[in-house]
Amino acid sequence: MTMPNNVFSGNDVHHVPRWDFVTVDRPRTSHQVCDSAVFEFFEKVVDLVRQYAPDAAIAFNSSPEDCADAALRWLR
């Protein structure tokens, strides 16, 4: 699901839709997984999910091809 550009209005998050789950993808290459900048970015992604979708499950996928499988784990 893609969020429309007009969902956020400044700091007003009252109009943010409720998310059941959020899928987070991993870095594309194995050398990126150990990069400290990637870890820092990953932490920010998880923190944003917790902030804007506190009740959402976080599903991790390893490639675009298994994104649906990651989502299905939380929909069952």
Neighbouring residues of 57: CB distance < 8 A, sequence distance ≥ 6: 20, 21, 22, 74
37/46 Cα distance (integer angstroms): 14
pLDDT, tens only, 6-65: 444 555 555 667 888 888 887 665 555 567 777 788 889 899 999 989 999 898 888 888
Strand 57-61 relative to strand 21-25, pairing: parallel
Record the pTM.
0.62
